[in-house]
Amino acid sequence: MKALLAKLPFLHKNFRELSLELKIVFLAHLLTLVFCFFPWVSYVPLYGESYFDNAFDGPTKIIGILIFLISLVIVGWFVAKLFKMKNVKLPVKEEVLFIFAGFQQIVLIICAWSVIMLMSGGYDLSEIRFGIIFVLLAQIFGVVAAYLLNKSGKKEEVVSFFHQAEGEIEDKLNLFKKGLAKKTEPKPKK
């Protein structure tokens, strides 16, 4: 516990060191966690008082819990990164993980939206509320940011490949020229 408290003053510095895309992905998943508690749909029955459901109530309970848990894992990943804890080694790059998690959540949100629309037929009035809309928007921004992060990483790999040290390039050119010279020399006849 003392080790975590000792790292607390450096959280802001560690957050500033993240790229803009990583900050957007982190904030998108953090907002998803928050907006899961906001109303997703409101119902007005024919008789009785109106009520609302969030991600953890109603017919979309399981989908909402899955959306919440996926975002919780990603936020936990970022918290570990901000505290400079050892991360788990993944077989894929973390940008690909963020893209996959974001797409999965977008599909789940669309499924929840369709279930809400299907179940709202038995009420006098039902409305989609701002919670599910903000969760969807946050995940769209998160997926776009993760995609841009993945593209910038690939661009840096290509640039670093072609911008090697001058000595390395000259050595490779000399080896290439020697190889060409050996191939063009006529072979001595016996």
pLDDT tens for each residue of 26-42: 999 999 999 999 988 88
Backbone angles phi, psi at 160, to 5 degrees: -70, -30
Cβ atoms of 56 and 65 closer than 8 Å: yes
pTM of the model: 0.76
154 Cβ contact list (under 8 Å, min separation 6) = none
pLDDT digits (tens, 9 = 90+) for 35-68: 999 988 888 887 878 888 888 988 889 999 999 9
- For the domain spanning 7-154, the CATH number is 1.20.140
> Position 126: which residue type?
S
- Checking if the pLDDT of 115 tops 80, the result is yes
DSSP lists the bridge partners of residue 51 as 43
